[in-house]
Structure 1
Amino acid sequence: MNILLTGGAGFIGRWVLKRLLDDGHHVWVLDDLSNGREANIAEFREHPGFRAFIKGSILNESILSDLFVGNRFDICYHLGASINVQDSIDDPRTTFNNDTIGTFYVLEQCRRHNVKIVFMSTCMVYDRCTDEGGITEEHPLKPASPYAGSKIAAENMVLSYWHAYGLPAVVIRPFNTYGPFQKTGGEGGVVAIFIKNKLDGKELKIYGDGTQTRDLLYVEDCARFVVEAGYSDKVNGEVVNAGLGRDIAINDLAKLIVQDESRIRHVEHIHPQSEIQKLLCNYGKAKRLLGWEPQISLEEGIRRTEEWIRSTDLI
């Protein structure tokens, strides 16, 4: 198939690209590099399925139009987005423009050319988990940050194109994803940041009291989920979660990574109003419709991530 991957030079996008190329497809990557890095995809440049890298924004309708007119895409995996909660609080306009208006521009091209869209949303749209069975797709939503609000707005637009036009479309909500190629600085995820600080002999800083929990999904499991949502007609018109199905308190995560409580310090939360106290995924729908379930345990995923951080100069 011919596939457009927005945000393909980002952390998750890089692994989705790898999966698509391994599966034999032709892939075009569109990324403005505001969060992604060309170095993430450098190893794929000579792959016969890698068609082009286009540095550009999803807000540039002429770039999008040229891509769709010229390449007869079968699927658009739309991962391009602003993803930082604090940035969305500080500058909501940028996040809204990228995540909502940008998604609308991509949707319009998909509608004109009848291209299936796989829209990458986030678990941050949910209210806290109150059920030990985990968060299903019917769980209440709570836009506790402009990031979450922008994603919910975009989700509704994506699903409206399924209902109004019959456009093949699916909204996917992966839970907190981590692994190799994730940034280890302020824009990175908690696992990558903790591991880097451990290796550098620094303290592991925890926002708030550390009792908040996260469901941590290894990036290769996430990429497999993203790709398979594009392949299957069973999820068209649906919202589908993916996660490990196990949550861990940030306090316990820090102990698991550093194994020295004296190196753990609690600091004032930067956005307590947007904290979700408990996140636990119920991925039963993904298992039922896609046959998907995670394969990498948290402990194994942390080991692989630490091994990568030790060995790379990309951070």
Structure 2
Amino acid sequence: MKALVTGGAGFIGSWVVDRLLRDGHNVWVLDNLTNGTERNISTFMNDSKFNGFVKGDIQDNHIVEQLFNNDINVCYHLAASINVQDSIDDPKTTFNNDVIGTFNVLEQCRKHGVKMVFMSTCMVYDKATGAEGISEMSPIKPASPYAGSKIAGENMVLSYYYAYGMPTVVIRPFNTYGPRQKATGEGGVVSIFTSKAFRGDPLHIYGSGEQTRDLLYVEDCARFVVAAGLSEGVNGQIINAGLGQDITINELALKICGDPSLIKHIEHIHPQSEIPKLLCNPSKAKKLLNWEPRVSLDDGLLKTKDWMIEQLKRM
């Protein structure tokens, strides 16, 4: 298979590239390096199946069109503005990237007969209300321009399935963490907390810390993403992926740092965007893709910590 991964130099994208190469597929990567880094894909450069990295933007139609001239079979569309707080402060940038950029890629998929896997997010949902967790039929609530833009992108992607018969699938991974994730503002809570714990810095938690997250290890997420592109049985579907267990941010912080005195609660910058409870019901992914997470939260946290230690040794 010939696969294009937009956002392929990013955190999740680079793991998707890794999975595709391990499975013997040919891969191209498009990334403007706003969130990603060439360091994430440097180890793939000598792989005969890695056909190239193009530094470019999904809003640049010329660059996108050139990549699709490589007889691509499937496009894993992960390129996006990903920060919820930034989307509230600057909604235009998020809309341009996540809606207009997605439209540009969709059009090339339609013209060339390419399947699109659209990376959405669990942040489109309203809070979980029961022990069974959030299914694909649960209510959505665009509490930020990021969530609103992702919902708009989802609807465009699904419209191409219904209007043109183009193979598409929308995937909604829950909070993904692991090696290569940034430990800065646009990173994830696990990487930020782990980095601060190493330095002995306070772990700042917005609000009460009783909000929960369902944390999915990145290699499990990558397997899910790749599988969605290979399966014809999921075309036209929306599919969740998560661990199926949630944890409060307070509990997560203590699990990572082990020192309650390092945990500090601060006022939320944009409390209106906070989702009180995120718990995934991944049963549809198991049914349609035979996919289940393999890495427990404790093991995933250890893998992330070990990776960060290796990075510090190289500095």
Q: Under a length normalisation based on structure 1, what TM-score does the superposition of the two structures give?
A: 0.99
What one-letter code is carried by the residue in structure 2 that aligns with 1:176? N
Q: Could you give the per-residue CA deviations for residues 172-205 of structure 1, whole angstroms, max 9, x where no partner exists?
A: 0000000000001111100000000000111111
Q: Note if 1:15 corresponds to 2:33.
A: no
User: Matched residues in 2 for 1:134 and 1:201: separation?
Assistant: 35
User: Matched residues in 2 for 1:78 and 1:242: separation?
Assistant: 16
Q: Where in structure 2 are the equivalents of 1:242-257 lying within 5 Å?
A: 242-257=241-256
Q: Where in structure 2 are the equivalents of 1:169-184 lying within 5 Å?
A: 169-184=168-183
What one-letter code is carried by the residue in structure 2 that aligns with 1:13? G
Q: Note if 1:185 corresponds to 2:184.
A: yes
Q: Where in structure 2 are the equivalents of 1:117-266 lying within 5 Å?
A: 117-266=116-265
Structure 1 residue 247, shift from structure 2 partner: 0.2
What one-letter code is carried by the residue in structure 1 that aligns with 2:34? S
User: Matched residues in 2 for 1:63 and 1:223: separation?
Assistant: 25
Structure 1 residue 270, shift from structure 2 partner: 1.1
| Percent pairwise identity | 65
What one-letter code is carried by the residue in structure 1 that aligns with 2:173? P
What one-letter code is carried by the residue in structure 2 that aligns with 1:140? P
Structure 1 residue 228, shift from structure 2 partner: 0.2
What one-letter code is carried by the residue in structure 2 that aligns with 1:232? S
User: Matched residues in 2 for 1:230 and 1:114: separation?
Assistant: 14
Gapped regions of structure 2 (runs ≥ 5): none
Q: Where in structure 2 are the equivalents of 1:73-92 lying within 5 Å?
A: 73-92=72-91
Structure 1 residue 100, shift from structure 2 partner: 0.5
Structure 1 residue 241, shift from structure 2 partner: 0.1
What one-letter code is carried by the residue in structure 2 that aligns with 1:20? L
**What is the match of residue 42 of structure 2?**
42
Q: Under a length normalisation based on structure 2, what TM-score does the superposition of the two structures give?
A: 0.99
**What is the match of residue 298 of structure 1?**
297
What one-letter code is carried by the residue in structure 1 that aligns with 2:75? C
User: Matched residues in 2 for 1:287 and 1:216: separation?
Assistant: 17
The 4+ residue runs of structure 1 with deviation greater than 4 A are none
**What is the match of residue 31 of structure 1?**
31
Structure 1 residue 293, shift from structure 2 partner: 0.5
- Paired residues in the alignment total 314
**What is the match of residue 100 of structure 1?**
99
**What is the match of residue 5 of structure 1?**
5
**What is the match of residue 277 of structure 2?**
278
**What is the match of residue 65 of structure 1?**
65
Q: Could you give the per-residue CA deviations for residues 51-102 of structure 1, whole angstroms, max 9, x where no partner exists?
A: 0100000000011111112x00000000000000011001100000000110
Structure 1 residue 136, shift from structure 2 partner: 0.2
DSSP-derived class of the 2:235 partner: coil
CA RMSD of aligned residues (A): 0.9
DSSP-derived class of the 2:171 partner: strand
User: Matched residues in 2 for 1:63 and 1:102: separation?
Assistant: 12
Q: Could you give the per-residue CA deviations for residues 122-147 of structure 1, whole angstroms, max 9, x where no partner exists?
A: 00000000011000000000000000
